[in-house]
Chain A
């Protein structure tokens, strides 16, 4: 388990690992995945390219939609969503500086070289921790691969197929009863 890591340096510390933050009781009935994204089109494109390098096939399995779903809601819609936007803009900036092209347009190897700078904590910019962003990106990618498909990831249960899990292991259900989970007082 990861312990606590500050990843937006000096601004906020977020518990990661065994459950991120808070009791999730928000939302309405039906699927949680909606078409809207908290990201601008270019940001989303960059992030999708990045998660595809973290796990080949992630885009096909719906990881970007999974990230959209969660970065719109508590507790991620604030600092974490801002961190992802900053992360996307730094990925894009490094791509332009090094290769004069969009991150999403680079070759896989070129993208990996840039991502490695985040992974190893080599990126030194104020108010942002590249390594923290990278770790969040990996966590959300893994969640999006193997989550209940209702969140937009693990499309059609294909992520489970990849690891040989059968239906008993995930018991799909409607979210409607869960929306009442929050204490209404």
Chain B
């Protein structure tokens, strides 16, 4: 395929939003080019180098070269930040995700109707039902490999069983189960996008525990890099062009999406024509690219006649709590077998919809063991001491942390309500190294989201307190923070072109053949990390594009 060729489908971004479309269309015989801004890593690139990966933020750009800007007060000037990037590499953020793969629930899709509207929020129902998504969750799970246990989460909606059995959990999971039960809560094994058995040529997880932040050197994590993309390439119809950054999406004289301009790996400007263009560069960057793609026909940005591109930005609220337990005491209770395992693997969703919260929409508790990162572990002790812990005392404390203690933690994924104050626009005062205005994140939290996130943290701490043997220490580490890499809503889908950017098939209301398939389409954040949903929806949209392709309507 020469670089001046025309292809059937151009996919911008190779993560959860882009890869399902690339695979589905390539399998249907369409010619597909995937343009990915980041490099194409292989397994030998994935090492447990905490300094490079975590401390130096390996996956995202230098803030001096390619920043976002952020402000939480509209009167202030936004300042450069790394927040709001998802990783830049083939496979996108699925490469270094932890892979907690919960599904949405009916409440997530009809929050406006269920609540009758929420003061101060631009909440909206989704234009599709969960029933329409459920088959695609199943497709997604079987095509990438998701492990879990059937019939144990009373709040789960599914048609088919999990394709893979649940991962082996640390024996302390039993303690969480007992504590949850004593409080009338239902704990269940967390579904993971991780192979628990052989999946084709992929081996089962080696239980090293370095999932979050790291690429999986074992190919057991079900990233799009390990699963969908190689399959798409093997069809012979899909080419992945790494280190290619798209500057602009252009239209033909009939106003249809027609071409992209991008800088290739050598920095040369290229143009590629496509019959359909599928944008999946992350909610923030996809909105930015549409806003940058101004033309005489689309002076406010491509597909932005409604003025809603970039609006209704949501993240996930972040709550966290920690319980420090004596490893010996836990072992005496649960036995020594499996004490070295890294996954606690327990979740609770009883507060997903709970009128006792006041505002009834909560989210998910995810109980985990602390990440095995040693520097992170050491530093958190020092930070907790406000840097007074050093010298021999630090040395003693570190030995105790790494040898004698077991840290059980939970994180809360809470509904992050959309508000008029939370949006992405172009920052004319800050440009990236190529001269383009950067994405400015205007951050606003809705009070009801924050209240619920904090209440859920209290409830999570109650679970930790109910654990026997008693913890040595229990404390909250975050109440109502922002998880920036879980981002949604900047091109929400809906029936009405006046109140949404995309139609229910995730095609632009205004620009035929332009689709957006990352988290941008979501009118609400949901009470789970959205990765599973983005993949499932992308498979759904891919089927619609495929049908058009096969009918020669593209």
Residues of A within 8 A of B (CB): 1-2, 15, 17-25, 53-57, 74-75, 112, 115, 119, 131, 134-135, 138-139, 142-143, 145-148, 151, 159-160, 162-165, 168-173, 177-178, 180-181, 183-185
Contact = CB atoms under 8 A, between A and B. Distances in A.
B131 interface: no
Best-surrounded residue of A17, A138, A183 (most CB of chain B within 10 A): A183
B397 to A, nearest CB: 11
Interface string B195-238: 00000000000101110000001000000000000000000000
A91 B81 CA distance: 33
A23 B61 contact: yes
A180 B39 contact: yes
B358 interface: no
B267 A184 contact: yes
Given A2-B383, A142-B379, A146-B374, A55 B390 contact: yes
Contacts of B553: none
Contacts of A146: 50, 374-375, 378
B131 to A, nearest CB: 39
20 contacts: A15-B82, A19-B57, A21-B62, A22-B57, A22-B63, A23-B61, A54-B391, A74-B62, A115-B390, A143-B375, A146-B378, A148-B48, A169-B210, A169-B372, A171-B48, A177-B45, A181-B39, A183-B38, A183-B39, A185-B265
Contacts of B38: 183
Interface string B378-401: 111011000110111011001100
A56 B390 CA distance: 9
Contacts of B63: 15, 21-22
Contacts of B41: 177
Contacts of A159: 374
A112 to B, nearest CB: 7
B48 A142 contact: no
The majority secondary structure among interface residues of chain B is loop
Contact of B50 (A134, A147, A183): A147
Nearest to A146: B374
Contacts of A21: 56-57, 62-63, 82
Residue of B42, B50, B56, B398 with most partner-chain A CB within 10 A? B56
A174 B44 CA distance: 9
B402 interface: yes
A22 B390 contact: no
Output the residue of A23, A134, A162 with the most chain B CB within 10 A: A23
B402 A163 contact: yes
Contact of A145 (B47, B263, B378, B388): B378
B263 A55 contact: no
Interface residues of B, number: 59
Across the A-B interface, the 3 shortest Cβ-Cβ residue pairs:
A163-B402, A19-B57, A146-B374
B266 interface: yes
Interface of B: 37-39, 41-42, 44-45, 47-52, 54-65, 81-82, 88, 206, 208-210, 217, 243, 245, 263-267, 372, 374-375, 378-380, 382-383, 387-388, 390-392, 394-395, 398-399, 402-403
A139 B206 contact: no
A177 B390 contact: no
B58 A23 contact: yes
A19 B39 contact: no
Contact of B391 (A53, A135, A170, A183): A53
B267 A54 contact: no
A173 B382 contact: no
A160 B378 CA distance: 12
Given A15-B82, A180-B39, A138 B47 contact: no
A168 B61 CA distance: 28
A148 B58 CA distance: 14
Nearest to A135: B387
Nearest to A180: B39
A148 B391 contact: no
A57 B378 CA distance: 15
B395 to A, nearest CB: 6
A147 B49 CA distance: 7
B265 A184 contact: yes
A117 B329 CA distance: 39
B310 to A, nearest CB: 24
A107 B100 CA distance: 52
Nearest to B433: A185
A47 to B, nearest CB: 15
B41 to A, nearest CB: 8
A184 B374 CA distance: 32
A163 B50 contact: no
A74 B57 CA distance: 13
A170 B265 contact: no
Nearest to A52: B391
A25 B88 CA distance: 12
Contact of B54 (A18, A134, A142, A169): A18
A90 to B, nearest CB: 17
Given A22-B62, A173-B47, A142 B382 contact: yes
Contacts of A181: 39, 45, 58
Contact of A163 (B39, B42, B65, B403): B403
A21 B399 CA distance: 29
A19 B394 contact: no
Given A55-B394, A143-B375, A177-B44, A138 B387 contact: yes
Contact of A53 (B45, B47, B390, B399): B390
Nearest to A139: B379
A74 B391 CA distance: 29
B62 A23 contact: yes
Contacts of A184: 243, 265-267
Contact of B399 (A134, A139, A163): A163
Given A146-B375, A147-B49, A180-B39, 11 more contacts: A22-B62, A134-B387, A148-B51, A162-B398, A165-B374, A172-B47, A173-B44, A173-B49, A177-B42, A178-B45, A185-B267
A22 B67 CA distance: 9
B482 to A, nearest CB: 12
A103 to B, nearest CB: 16
Nearest to A171: B48
B48 A170 contact: yes
B266 A185 contact: yes
Contact of A142 (B65, B208, B266, B375): B375
